[in-house]
Chain A
Amino acid sequence: MTEARAALEPTFAGPLSHLRILEIAEQAPGPFAGRLLHDLGAAVTKVERPGSGDSSRQLGPFRDDEPDPEASGLFSYFNRGKRSVTLDWAHADGRALLGRLLEESDVLIVDERFGASHDELLALCEEHAGGERALSVVSITPFGLTGPRAHWRGSPATISAYGGLTLYFGEEDRAPIPPPQDLALTQGGLAVAIATLLTVLGRGGQPGRGQVADISIADVLSSVHTGLAATHWVFDSRQFQRHGRRSQGGLYPNAMLRCKDGFFRIHAMSQKEWRGLLEMMGSPAWGDDPEYQDRIVNGDRYADLLDTYIESYLLQHTKNELFEQTRERQLPFSPVRQMHEVLEEEQLLHLGLFRELAHPNGEQFTAAGSPFRWRNAEDDAPPETDPTGAALLRAPRLGEHNAEVYGGLLGLGAAEIERLRGDDVI
């Protein structure tokens, strides 16, 4: 491998190490997709605006709330293992440079900040068709590139509202509550990563023409997350509603209930699990009352009453005591953890989920690695942790790989690079 080629080569050997991804996307959805692909071995290069770069560099969370664009928790987390070059794609020289990078790339991931229409993205694929890599473009925007709301500006809260999630959370007679901000965005990111693989598989290994994937985060939420409620509604005009601590759908019991030191979630889908709960509580007499034997009726008529019966037991125990009881009885109930407890959860530590990661400035912190273990058929045994190995690779400083990529890969001379920098192109 020549030094020039190395600039876009993968940073470790994984199942997708032959893929080169360019990412022109900020904050969570696009970068989370790039991160997922990096975790599978793809070489991911961020193309950032000169000056400030990905806006999540400014977002934090920062240690001790001290802003430092090379030490944002969110940026470091969503961009680990990537390369960074700076480039102003609105500038003609920048656009030409981008064209040369695209010749070397399999997939370009863009978000609304790239500002291209569906037709323009198709033209980009056309321009880079027929080569070894046959570029595809995956676009991720709040509401998509087509349709009457395509031009709408979006945010995690508004996308969650449009996608049908928000109206589910909260109490029936009070305002709905927006779900945590990262949730909508990571689902969008997953769809982008899947689309990336589909476009690559769609080439069938033959040089040819790539395609455009147009992903709307609102669509993602409205389908795999909340879409099935539409089928329910057609047959049963009751809407899925806000139910306070009760889950959507399912049979009774399906709620988060109080215990001695917090909350415990009870969710029994089968009769066996329901009987298991009653036994765990010492088989109270009301459990045999003929009135409470149909769990559909229980949910419709007696849910609040039965909740208080169950809580009277739960309130005598801590969530860890209850967790121990449900472990013994193999019941699908769980303590409601808080963030600091999650970081100390025995099973997660056993799996090695939390790993050392460095910020671009070198400072270490702990963050979640990959949620999977991958074993190739030719390996004797599965890796003990995820394929990225023990240490997570840090996220790049802004433009850290300009010299490597522009000088090495594209063969620009030092004077030319200096000129581009002087003209604010890179």
Chain B
Amino acid sequence: MTSSDGERRATLDILEGVRVLDLGMVWAGSICGQVLSDFGADVVKVESRSNLDIARRGRPIIGTEYDPNQNPLFHNTARNKRSLALNLKTEEGRDVLRRIVPHADILIENWRPGALPRLGFGYEDLRTLRPDIIMISQTLAGQDGIDARLRAYGPTVGGITGLDSLVGYQGEAPLGMGHAYADPNVGLHSALLALSALERRRLTGEGAYIDVSMWEAMVAALATPLLDCELNGRVAGPLGDDAIPGAPAGVFACAGDDHWLVLEVHDDADWAGIVEAMERPDWASDERFASAEGRLAAREELNEHVRAWTATRDRDELAELLQGHGVIASPCLAVSERLFDDHLLAREGFTWVENPVLGREPVYGQAIRLSETPGYVREPAPMLGQHSAEVLRELLDMSDEEIEALDEAGVLR
């Protein structure tokens, strides 16, 4: 599928032979399995139409009917995974899962606390089926307490963690994050914990149960504003681009539609660099600007000069020019630009795959770039139930007749 596939297959994948039962849902729940699958784990997504993953819903791309096989989010986070459609609301479905668990190393889930134990798949149940299993429960807020059963999505976690209160223009009411930052954040935490448990199991032969909380993980990532509140009682609010340190510093409009440049000048070398890049304008020789303190005191005045300079110029040329003079600068890239950006492409930022429904499409690459055993995108995301028969034959030695009977009984959907 990728041109260098054969070449890459020459090295052993780090997680080859590790099987993951992925009961992770939406965005947060799916990233752990995605990371593990990129590095060679056999990740089987256990899912069902009776409890359809929200990541499979949403606006259809082709046609007007909802279709579980068309969601771009799912296509990114479920690449490399196999799909086993299994209705756990049926006794037969639960029986199949009980028989599969002994073949699994890791089970990851983000169902509501208590939901899986009620179906007979709590950690105590799983370890009787597979003593060294590693179970990762990704929760909003742990297993007990007033809000353990609270429901939330990434954006609402932005609200309860205070993240939303920090984003907006300076001196105005907050606008909020609008991006489900908490989802990938806890997903990456889960991947770290799963790998740590695998490493410990390698040494001790023992499994583990880990509960990781999306709410806590988000709060723990908000270091500076929380520390400032604790140490000084200061309640942070929106700062706009005043949050960018230095002078001049900020987000500047350039020529073109919605083209913006971020730049920041800190020390005297940076200042010499930007003055040189601007071809030494007269105003820059003002003595007030000779020191970092003086420049900070005149930040808005300096920013006005920079604004006038960038307004008619090309964003990308300015970024290259400033970086060439040692100044920290970057364009604000739109998604359509990132997809074709030479730097991100050189680092395999996106891989094009052939999706059975949508055709050729890009999915994001693996940002953890290992020199000897790289992770990569092998297969497009599965259709719902695409690998049901394959998995049942392979793991449980089921006959075609048995599989057909389960299907007819509505278990494999």
Contact = CB atoms under 8 A, between A and B. Distances in A.
B332 A176 contact: yes
Interface in B131-175: 131-132, 141-142, 144-153, 155-169, 173-175
Contacts of B243: 157, 178, 180-181
Contacts of A154: 328, 330
A220 interface: yes
Contact of B226 (A177, A249, A342): A342
A327 B147 contact: yes
B395 to A, nearest CB: 22
Nearest to A17: B200
A182 B384 CA distance: 38
Contacts of A212: 370-371
B145 A350 contact: yes
A346 B147 contact: yes
A405 interface: no
Interface in A191-248: 191, 193-195, 197-202, 205, 209, 211-216, 218-220, 222-237, 239-240, 243-248
B148 A265 contact: no
Contacts of B200: 15-16, 376
A239 B332 CA distance: 13
Nearest to A350: B145
A168 interface: yes
A333 B226 contact: no
Interface stretch (A278-286, A308-316, A364-372, A409-417): A364-372
Interface string A150-179: 111111011101111111111100111111
Nearest to B368: A195
A334 interface: yes
Q: How large is the interface on B (under 10, 10 to 19, 20 to 34, 35 or more residues)?
A: 35 or more
Contact of B31 (A224, A237, A336, A370): A224
Contacts, number: 491
A358 interface: no
Contacts of A406: none
B142 to A, nearest CB: 5
A144 interface: yes
B290 interface: no
A144 B341 CA distance: 14
A77 B223 contact: yes
B15 A230 contact: no
A198 to B, nearest CB: 6
Contact of B165 (A181, A246, A249, A338): A338
Contacts of B207: 377
B135 to A, nearest CB: 9
A69 to B, nearest CB: 15
A28 interface: yes
Contact of A336 (B151, B174, B208): B174
B336 A239 contact: yes
Given A16-B196, A267-B153, A331-B151, 15 more contacts: A40-B196, A155-B328, A167-B260, A178-B241, A190-B189, A219-B344, A220-B367, A222-B338, A222-B364, A230-B362, A250-B58, A269-B26, A269-B57, A370-B216, A371-B189
